Structure 1
Amino acid sequence: MSAFALRARYLLPVTAQPMAGGVVTIADGRIVAVGENTSGKPPIDLGDVALLPGLVNCHSHLEFSDLATPLGRPGMSMPDWIRCVLAARSERTQASSAAIARGIDESLECGTTLIGEIATSDWTPGPFAASPLDANVYFELMALSAERQQMQIEYACTQIRSDVFADSSARLSAGVSPHAPYTASLDMVREAALLGPTAMHVAESQEELELLACRSGPFRDLLSQRGLWRVDSFATSRRPLEYLHALAIAPRTLVIHGNYLDHEELAFLAARRATMSLVYCPRTHHFFAHEAYPLAVALNQGVRVALGTDSRASNPDLSLLAEMRFVAREFNHLDPKIILAMGTIAGAEALGRDDACGSIEVGKQADLVAVNLGCGQESPEELLLAHDGGISSVWVRGELVRCSADL
């Protein structure tokens, strides 16, 4: 690929100060210069846009990307919503690969160039192999009995050792995802965490906390109805902190949601920032009408907080930019630079991809997103987050993969 340069109203490297009229030079899919044109050709002028790194969506379930609207109703309980999910899966008439392909396309349209995807048992690499999207794929594990636990661990070992993930420089990497405390025993979490990078839903709902603390409530009712209740599966766990301890042995961990983590649990994550990250899914949190998210507390304690869309089963779309703008509205005291970092470099760090993704720096992949800006005197980050300008262009490794204008 011959060298070329892009110029924008604002260049937002994320790890450096914004540049008015900033230029970035790209060659062979990599960034070779920031702030100057070394291509030997006039730069391509993108106009009134902010040029930022490709967005990083740390949590998705793309199998639901064919849904036009979220399942259930806003404010419903997590166990009742899970009943809707189970019903939707039972009524599915085609393999999930078609929905995943649709979700990949939507993600790229929305400026996401790196994603953390939860893969269920019918996952196939085809949709990802056919796309330029980078992905960390976490294979979902569910087991409350010792017998099923062994089967799930063997399944995980087979998947993560697949030839699809054999090349360490490949676009796809593999990990495991013991689903949640109500579907994954503490013993299985410990064993799964030894296999590789791990992602787990933790402290997502009040009903989950009730199950752990009291061995009762709507989640126990749901498990009993499905013939899965085993009191011995929860014999040693009373709170999310015990699951965090189990997850801490993984080389890298995503703690998904964490809506109800307390101060001690957030401090635990902060102390292990090198390997543990919290993934906040703002609009899914809003869909369930949870209590206020502990974002300020987490950030003040030093927790790395990244962002995820979750799925169309609880969200109207897969736009990470919309998540960032939602955070800017809900936490209007928060520095917009922090919000931009949450959707880019923090996500890349959480996924272990910050050597190549998440910021505009020399040597990194040329994953870039151009976003139309509104008028105003605000900072470029404020203009990006306070207005509803759409995405005009997306590049992955220097290749233009989405474009709404002639370039």
Structure 2
Amino acid sequence: MLLTKANKRMSTIAIHADWIFSLTSTPIPNGWLVAHEGVIEFLGRELPPRFQSVPIRKLPNTALLPGLINAHCHLEFSDMANPIEFHGSFIAWIQSVVRHRAQANGEESIERRRMAVARGIEESYRSGTRILFDTITAPWSPDWIQSPSIPQELASSPEVGILRHALTGLSRFYVVPIPETLDIHQSRGDETIAFARRVHEQMGEPKNRQSSPTSSSSIMPRLAISPHAPYTASRNLVRNWTAWSQSNHGLVSMHLAESREEMEWLAERAEPIESALGRFRDQAFARQSSTMQDYVDAMLEAWLGIIAHGNYLDESLLTNLSAHRNHVAIAHCPRTYRHFHPDRSTQNYPLAERLRRGVRHLVGTDSRASNPDLSVWSEMQTMLNYPGISGEEIIAMATREPADLLGLADFGTLAVGNRSLCTAIPLSGTLEQEDIYRSLLTVGKSAVPLESMIVES
């Protein structure tokens, strides 16, 4: 489409919402947000005269938030209709996940994986997520992580398309692929490390570089890596990758302290993990005898680090994490935690205590193997049941906190000059002032990308 003078005017849009939560100051009632080609140009109570002539959209019963960030996900399992049931053994559950992954072969496997990833991206986007960190395994292609389309039911005129572009700029959704590696056996180590290097080479190619959601001054990691877990990845592998991350300003993400079985195996090579590993590991891996302290210490050496789950870290390890909160955080997946803790007495993760210690926490959905969907908003609402935590802390875990950790200088908060990739929250009632953030999580029916609410005038 030729960019006419009228179209240039339409590349700016003014949005009025009942509430705007900037995460930098007090929420703005009856606020205005003006965006131009994906960047915020104004935020406040009164629309300045210079913007009176731009297209205006008023969104009643709606609140605006910074775009949601999913810090831990496995899109490859997005074809699952229901989570895999947990019957008390974590390693038995893992074996069921592996069997699901192995159900298809050859071209069928590749197409099935591609469709699962596409479904997960669409689902995540429709539920208001803007940046997603995806732990990947082969087969995988960078062609699979293209920006999702506007839902078919919202198809509209070219003019509305221009207005949506005014909000999103070049891209409305970003995926950071994190190739998974393990060295439980040398052959698997060679295979997964070669896969990771191919992914890094592919993501380094100009045609596959996603336009950064941040300014050129920010340090969002273009490359990331995941040594899988202590029972499949040695401490040496983790330290090799953390050294790599320092040289490449990369991100290291690792599953740690996810289950009691993992902790017991690390402490004394206990069952059932010990027997389950037997036929997969070689002697070199069997001889290694690292502790959880060793693994956490290795992760603290990363340029940027995300510990996925971290459910059973003790006080001394949490103290160490607190001291390194500027570059290492825990990705908590509330509904996955609940999936593996069906006893109500253990469902509440000790989040409030950890936050008071200064341990940075982010929000993840994990995968559909342990979760009914990929909604970050639903994860946030689940945390309303956790004692001693404020609504603002919950919302910050999916917006301001991950952006700050990852150096996303113009993401995670709403301010002039920041990206206008907002998440909109349709409201089912009036927000209570006493804890307005908690009220938002209670009254907010769902989360959607803001541009999906821009329809014909």
- Indicate if the aligned counterparts of 2:200 and 2:223 stay in contact, CA closer than 8 A: yes
- Indicate if the aligned counterparts of 2:142 and 2:202 stay in contact, CA closer than 8 A: no
Distance (whole Å) between structure 2 residues aligned to residue 382 and residue 222 of structure 1: 43
Matching residue of 2:397: 342
- Indicate if the aligned counterparts of 1:176 and 1:193 stay in contact, CA closer than 8 A: no
Q: Which has the larger radius of gyration?
A: 2
- Indicate if the aligned counterparts of 1:345 and 1:354 stay in contact, CA closer than 8 A: no
Q: How does 1:306-321 map to 2 (within 5 A)?
A: 306-321=362-377
The one-letter code matched in structure 1 to 2:254 is M
Please tell me the root mean square deviation across aligned C-alpha atoms, in Å: 2.2
The one-letter code matched in structure 2 to 1:123 is W
The one-letter code matched in structure 2 to 1:308 is G
19, 22, 44: which one aligns with 2:31: 22
Deviation at 1:349, TM superposition (A): 2.7
Deviation at 1:234, TM superposition (A): 5.7
Q: Does 1:54 align with 2:67?
A: yes
| 312-321 or 41-50, which deviates more | 41-50
Distance (whole Å) between structure 1 residues aligned to residue 14 and residue 289 of structure 2: 58
Q: Does 1:4 align with 2:16?
A: no
Matching residue of 1:246: 298
Question: Normalising by the residue count of structure 2, what TM-score does the alignment of the two structures yield?
Answer: 0.81
- Indicate if the aligned counterparts of 1:153 and 1:192 stay in contact, CA closer than 8 A: no
320, 326, 331: which one aligns with 1:268: 320
Q: Does 1:228 align with 2:281?
A: yes
Distance (whole Å) between structure 1 residues aligned to residue 414 and residue 28 of structure 2: 12
The one-letter code matched in structure 2 to 1:315 is N
- Indicate if the aligned counterparts of 2:400 and 2:412 stay in contact, CA closer than 8 A: yes
Deviation at 1:383, TM superposition (A): 2.6
Question: Normalising by the residue count of structure 1, what TM-score does the alignment of the two structures yield?
Answer: 0.91
Matching residue of 1:84: 96
Q: Does 1:69 align with 2:82?
A: yes
Q: How does 1:239-388 map to 2 (within 5 A)?
A: 240-289=292-341, 291=346, 292-328=348-384, 330-350=385-405, 352-376=406-430, 378-379=432-433, 380-387=436-443
Q: Does 1:107 align with 2:124?
A: yes
Structure ranking higher in helix proportion: 2
Deviation at 1:54, TM superposition (A): 1.0
Distance (whole Å) between structure 2 residues aligned to residue 19 and residue 204 of structure 1: 39
| 101-110 or 85-94, which deviates more | 85-94
Q: Report the 3-state secondary structure (helix = DSSP H, G, I; strand = E; otherwise coil) of the residue aligned with 1:31.
A: strand
Show structure 2 runs of 5+ residues with no match. 1-7, 149-171, 214-220, 245-249
Distance (whole Å) between structure 1 residues aligned to residue 442 and residue 127 of structure 2: 17
Matching residue of 1:37: 47
Distance (whole Å) between structure 2 residues aligned to residue 377 and residue 192 of structure 1: 46
Q: What is the aligned length?
A: 396
- Indicate if the aligned counterparts of 1:108 and 1:394 stay in contact, CA closer than 8 A: yes
391, 394, 399: which one aligns with 2:449: 394
Distance (whole Å) between structure 1 residues aligned to residue 145 and residue 24 of structure 2: 29
Distance (whole Å) between structure 2 residues aligned to residue 5 and residue 139 of structure 1: 40
Show structure 1 runs of 5+ residues with no match. none
Q: Report the 3-state secondary structure (helix = DSSP H, G, I; strand = E; otherwise coil) of the residue aligned with 1:199.
A: strand
| 291-300 or 105-114, which deviates more | 291-300
Distance (whole Å) between structure 2 residues aligned to residue 251 and residue 377 of structure 1: 40
The one-letter code matched in structure 2 to 1:336 is G
Assess, with a 3 A threshold, how the Cα gap between structure 1 residues 150 and 109 changes in structure 2: closer, same or farther.
same
